[in-house]
Amino acid sequence: MEQYLILRNKAIEILKDLFPGATVEFHRIEYGGWVTTVFVRFESDELIQLLWEEISNAVALYYQTKIETDFERWNLYLFYLSKQKMEKGLKYRIENDPISSRKIVIEEFNGALDRGKMEEIISNHITNSSLTINTPQPAPSPFVQDQAITAVLNKILADGDDKKKKAIDYDDLLKKIERSFKDEI
């Protein structure tokens, strides 16, 4: 943990010097190993368009290359927060860039970026810990058990020995049911 704090603080200091128009926050979670998230907040899409690649490269250079384990290096997420709705092409370019880390754009972000909000964003985009799964109950069958058929089946099965009960010959069973109903008519 101490090594992470040293790396994080050094990276934040460098990023603030390099990109004074951006606010940078780091957050780390345990999720099968350590996962680091970097939140980069911009005031406008223009700044995102100008700086997102440089920030991604700087995070890779000043933080990611210093991480000790492969798991941590491969589980680095950059969240670009914009106050505005972003142009679709720019958002697509950012989120589909395969270099160094997974990048996610959060549009129309106007609230405070506190620990709770970071954890909510992480839950929604990485861990899905807030996901609730509702399993639908099966619909009741539209078929009603026919008492006459049930009685015939019970009689046929009661007449046979235990071997017949275990291995039912369905053709034979169907013939017996048909015969039973013909006899009733």
User: Which residue has better confidence, 161 or 26?
Assistant: 26
Q: What pLDDT does 178 receive?
A: 77
User: The dihedral of CA 114, 116, 122, 124: what is its sign?
Assistant: negative
Strand order, beta sheet including 23-30 = 23-30, 34-42, 76-82, 102-106
The string of pLDDT tens digits covering residues 123-154 is 999 998 877 778 787 777 666 667 777 777 77
CA 75 to chain centre: 15
**pTM exceeds 0.85:** no
Of the candidates 86, 20, 93, 85, the residue with the CA atom closest to the CA atom of residue 55: 20
The string of pLDDT tens digits covering residues 39-92 is 999 777 788 899 999 999 999 999 999 998 999 999 999 999 998 898 899 999
Q: Taking 90 as the threshold, does the pLDDT of residue 170 lie above it?
A: no
User: Is 66:43 a contact under the CB 8 Å cutoff?
Assistant: no
* 100: amino acid identity, one letter: S
